[in-house]
Amino acid sequence: MELKFKIFRFDPEHDSAPYYREYTVQADPTERILDCLNRIKWEQDGTLSYRHSCAHGVCGSDAMRINGVCGLACQKLVKDFAQGEVLVEPIPSFRVLKDLIVDMNPFFEKVESVRPYLIASDPPEKERIQSPQDRKKFDEAIRCILCACCTAACPIANENPRFIGPAPLVQAFRRVFDSRDEARRERLENLDYPDGVWACENRFECTRVCPKEIKVTKSINLLKRELKK
């Protein structure tokens, strides 16, 4: 199958403005868009820059906007681009460092602000016991790989850079609903401000794009409900 790629290019050290470059790639229908990018880089244009690591939807490093939808290049199959044209751009509202590589630091600073780790007193003699029912409460959120697709797709996060954004809220959800965590109240108070959990307007774009199929909007609404209580 032949695919025509149009890829966003920008090297701030050499280019005065971003531009798009076109490439043609032969690929099997079962290959992924990441395989095509690798082929372009290895066989046609070694200057193309993008992040990737695991190539199996685990590390979260290859988020990009593909035909207008944020997702992981390693999870997008060639056969789903039967029209033969693929527009690849960096995730929106993130500063471009080079081509498809964006500055993730502001994103991770917001994740860090929710203290994404267990807060509990000294460990017991053995393990911390949790019932299967309690564990189930944050089963989905634990799948988050911090790829930032949700934040990039969120129209509110695009308009308002102060909005904490959906991914940090998923991280907060995971700890607020963890029966072993002892900072539930502080965690909720930490989200209780206009650019915190309340800035979300239920537009569901985060849920639509999440590659781990986390119900992001629902998680945010459960945090709001806990705060209202």
Contact residues toward ligand FES (CB under 6 A) are 52-55, 57-62, 72, 74
116 binds, among ligand SF4, ligand FES, none (CB under 5 to 8 A by kind): none
Pick between residue 24 and residue 202 the one whose CB is nearest to ligand SF4.
Answer: 202
* Helical axes 216-228 vs 184-191, angle rounded to 10°: 100
Pick the closer one to ligand SF4 by CB: 7 or 154.
154
Does position 145 bind ligand SF4 by CB under 6 A?
Answer: yes
Q: What letter would DSSP give residue 44?
A: I
Q: Is 64 in the site for ligand SF4 (CB under 6 A)?
A: no
What letter does residue 14 receive in the DSSP assignment?
T
Q: Are 9 and 15 in contact (CB under 8 A)?
A: yes
Per-state percent for the chain, helix, strand, coil, to nearest 5:
40, 15, 45
Q: Which stretch binds ligand SF4 (CB under 6 A): 4-12, 38-46, 75-83, 163-171?
A: 163-171
Q: CB-wise, 102 or 223, nearer to ligand FES?
A: 102
Q: Which is nearer to ligand FES, 35 or 140 (CB)?
A: 35
Question: Is residue 148 within 8 Å of residue 107, measured between CB atoms?
Answer: yes
Q: Check binding of 53 to ligand SF4 (CB under 6 A).
A: no
137-169 burial, b for 16+ CB within 10 Å, e for fewer?
bbebbeebbbbbbbbbbbebbeeeeebbbbbbb
Q: In the chain, which ranges are continuous DSSP H helix?
A: 33-39, 105-113, 132-136, 149-153, 155-159, 166-176, 184-191, 205-209, 216-228
CB of 162 to ligand SF4, least distance (A): 13
Among 32, 166, 172, 181, binds ligand SF4 (CB under 6 A): 166
Work out which of 38, 174, 212, 223 binds ligand SF4, going by CB under 6 A: 212
For residue 55, the minimal CB distance to ligand SF4 (Å) is 16
**Using the rule CB under 6 A, is 200 a contact of ligand SF4?**
yes
Q: Does 114 bind ligand SF4 (CB under 6 A)?
A: no
> What is the DSSP secondary structure assignment for residue 162, as one 8-state letter?
T
